[in-house]
A and B are shown apart, each in its own frame.
Chain A
Amino acid sequence: MKSKLIEHTLSIVLLSCVFIIVMNVIGHRESARNVDRMRFIAPYLQFDSLDFGNPLHVALFKETLDLFHPETPARNDSLLLAIQAFRQEQFTNQAYKTGGGDRGLSSAKMMKLGNMYLQFIIIYLIVMVLSYYAAQSLAIFRFVKMKQNKTSYLEELYTGMRSTTHRNGSFFSHSVFLFAKALVKSLSYAVLFSPAYVIAYSIRSSMNTDSYLFMIVLGVISNGLLINYANKFFTFLVTESRKGYVQTAIVKNLNASYEWGTPDGVSRWSVVRPGSSFPSHVFRHIYMNARFQFLSTLKEHASFLITGLVIIEMALNIQGHLGYELLQNILYKQYDVVVSIILGIFFIVKVTEIVVDGWFHHESRKYENRV
């Protein structure tokens, strides 16, 4: 554990240094470029009579340039491009708009960022806990369904339609019921696989998508987070269920039925309830082993979850959120802000990793008979 901790700390320090250096280099390069460019174009910007917003003026300016320097047409072109780029930046870059005073990390900005960072952490924690439980419940539900060995709704519907007997009212209502179930299932599949922006934009017209609640819900279900981790847990359950000790448990006459609610089966409530351990059922053994393995996937879960959250914040253009701020600052090349945000995110992942490693270490020490 100690070596892990050292590694984590070291990587935090190292990455911080590397990032700060790299971004400084890029920042220098940018300002050097700007100086170069300004030296190149400054004389021409001084003509008050020239309006570069006016296409006619621009065309005239180009003609004039070509007339005076016919030997360097390429240079003339790039001069024009540079002037246009400069103007565009003046229009778009907020930092320039406010006279450049806001450029860089002022203390007010730091405060603002810190606030956003805190918000981000809270949302992250909530989504983490929710998706961790939801993924497990979903996977257990699917596992039980698999064990019940039911055919899919559509297949049941198909075979029902094929058989010509029993065509009466109840058959009809049953078919409609099955069809509706299949529809709901495929719709929820579509939601689980949709990237967050697809969902958000498709319901934006009918509800406010900028609320925290919405962000949390979106963070849990979209971007494939829930379905992927539910699937991972499900795979663990299936692999564990094939292991020898499950057979031993069956031979020891533990309950082995997976029907809902029967005395030797499992209850729906125990699937949903956090912290249930399925006592005196074979599934208890499967579950405890799968959960132990699932613990170590929490690390990638964290980084994947953050990817999802950042995508949501960026894609929804929610002002005042960390992801949005990151994107804006990347686009306007304020690399000092970018570095601090990225490092902040990196710290969240690292802290999660340290916590998970500690937890895992604690658990496995017990199982390795070292306590």
Chain B
Amino acid sequence: MDGFRKKDKLWLTIWLTGLAGLGLWDAVFLNQPAFLLLQTAFVNTLTAGVLVVVFSLALGWPIGVALYFLETRRPAFYLSFTFVLNIIRSIPQIVGILIGYVILTIFIEDQILRSQFSQLVWMAFTISLFVFLEVVDLVRERIAYYNKLDFFQAMLCCGIKEGRIINRDILWKNSRAHLLHKMISVFGIAVFLQCSIDFIISVGLSTDVSLSNFPVTLGSLLAKLDSKQDILAVGSAFSSPTNALSLLFEHLQGVSIAFVIVFTLLCVYKISNGLVRRFNL
């Protein structure tokens, strides 16, 4: 037990073990095509999540630093820039991503985005457009924190370049744990939003238009008719506990997907809390 006093590592292990356990169970009891579909959906969702993290960092860090420089040098640019960012901030994420989806369908119609992977990248990019502000805020908060201490000014007075102080001394040397923590929570948000948007769109369309040309993710898989039936069965398990066992065998597809989503979100939360405790963030 002692090795797991670091809660983040404990929960990372729990997550991986849980997924592996589910994988084994499904390999035995779930039919082959459904299992394959589940795997693809999982990999796609994970890929999208990681892409969102990468995009948010790639957008957030430079923009955060740029805002600092603009604030001191070009106040007019700074004001208009933050004005635009604040507008993005005020659009509820789901609405913004829906707009991104509208654009995606146009791209697909015009055959600009052909491969499934490029569609995944586009969706990840849209999501990151609405979450990268968290990274910007963190970067600015860290710079502001060190700006209040003597740290920044003392280094300036020694003639060290401002860019070096910010990027190397403040962000790289002193904020790595903070950034890691932020990346993990961004990953959680990304998975949640990705699943939700796919679920919504698939539900809205399921009766009418085929969605087969979109990459399959956990959300869209959950919205399929058979998965939805599986989830509905969970309710009946509450009313008659004898049905509970059937969840693990007959309704495995939907239950597995729901489990992966909820379990992943829970573990991401626990891991990020563990990090906070370990590094006193």
**B and A form one assembly:** yes
Chain A residues at the B interface, C-beta cutoff of 8 Å: 7, 10-11, 14-15, 26, 88, 91-92, 189-190, 193-195, 197-198, 201-207, 223-224, 227-228, 231, 235, 299-300, 303-304, 306-307, 310-311, 314-315, 317, 326-328, 330-331, 338, 342, 345-346, 349-350, 353
Q: Please tell me if B200 contacts chain A, counting CB pairs below 8 Å.
A: yes
Which chain B residues lie closer than 8 Å to A193 at the CB level? 262, 265-266, 269
Which chain B residues lie closer than 8 Å to A330 at the CB level? 98, 101-102
CB of B262 within 8 A of CB of A198, answer yes
Other-chain residue from B89, B205, B231, B265 in contact with A202 (beta carbon distance below 8 A): B231
Task: Give the number of residue pairs across the A-B interface with Cβ within 8 Å.
Answer: 136
CB of B199 within 8 A of CB of A197, answer yes
A-B contact pairs, 14 of them (CB 8 A): A11-B90, A92-B209, A195-B261, A202-B235, A206-B238, A223-B192, A235-B276, A303-B92, A303-B93, A304-B92, A304-B93, A306-B92, A315-B196, A331-B208
CB of A231 within 8 A of CB of B94, answer no
Other-chain residue from B89, B204, B228 in contact with A314 (beta carbon distance below 8 A): B204
Which chain B residues lie closer than 8 Å to A304 at the CB level? 92-93
CB of A311 within 8 A of CB of B83, answer no
Q: Please tell me if B232 contacts chain A, counting CB pairs below 8 Å.
A: yes
Q: Given A195-B261, A310-B94, check contact A331 B232 (CB 8 Å).
A: no
Which chain A residues lie closer than 8 Å to B209 at the CB level? 88, 92, 331
Which residue of chain A has its CB nearest to the CB of B109?
A33
Rounded to whole Å, the gap between the CB of A299 and the closest CB of chain B is: 8
CB of B235 within 8 A of CB of A315, answer no
Which residue of chain A has its CB nearest to the CB of B188?
A224
Q: Please tell me if B234 contacts chain A, counting CB pairs below 8 Å.
A: yes
CB of B90 within 8 A of CB of A205, answer no
CB of A315 within 8 A of CB of B199, answer yes
Chain B residues at the A interface, C-beta cutoff of 8 Å: 83, 86-87, 89-95, 98-99, 101-102, 106, 188, 192-193, 195-196, 199-201, 203-205, 208-209, 222, 228, 231-236, 238-239, 258, 261-262, 265-266, 269, 273, 276
Other-chain residue from B83, B86, B239 in contact with A206 (beta carbon distance below 8 A): B239
CB of A346 within 8 A of CB of B90, answer yes
CB of B205 within 8 A of CB of A331, answer yes
Which chain A residues lie closer than 8 Å to B99 at the CB level? 342
CB of A206 within 8 A of CB of B90, answer no
Which residue of chain A has its CB nearest to the CB of B268?
A193
CA distance A207 to B238 in the complex (A): 12
Other-chain residue from B101, B192, B201 in contact with A195 (beta carbon distance below 8 A): B192
CA distance A77 to B199 in the complex (A): 32
CB of B261 within 8 A of CB of A189, answer no
Rounded to whole Å, the gap between the CB of A125 and the closest CB of chain B is: 15
CB of B83 within 8 A of CB of A11, answer yes
Rounded to whole Å, the gap between the CB of A308 and the closest CB of chain B is: 8
CA distance A26 to B222 in the complex (A): 31
Which chain A residues lie closer than 8 Å to B273 at the CB level? 231
Which chain A residues lie closer than 8 Å to B196 at the CB level? 195, 197, 223, 311, 315
CA distance A172 to B199 in the complex (A): 45
CA distance A70 to B30 in the complex (A): 48
CA distance A235 to B200 in the complex (A): 32
Which residue of chain A has its CB nearest to the CB of B231?
A201
CA distance A338 to B99 in the complex (A): 10
CB of B86 within 8 A of CB of A7, answer yes
Rounded to whole Å, the gap between the CB of B256 and the closest CB of chain A is: 12
Which residue of chain B has its CB nearest to the CB of A335?
B102
Which chain B residues lie closer than 8 Å to A203 at the CB level? 234-235, 238
Which chain B residues lie closer than 8 Å to A303 at the CB level? 89-93
CA distance A307 to B276 in the complex (A): 26
CA distance A198 to B260 in the complex (A): 12
Rounded to whole Å, the gap between the CB of B101 and the closest CB of chain A is: 7
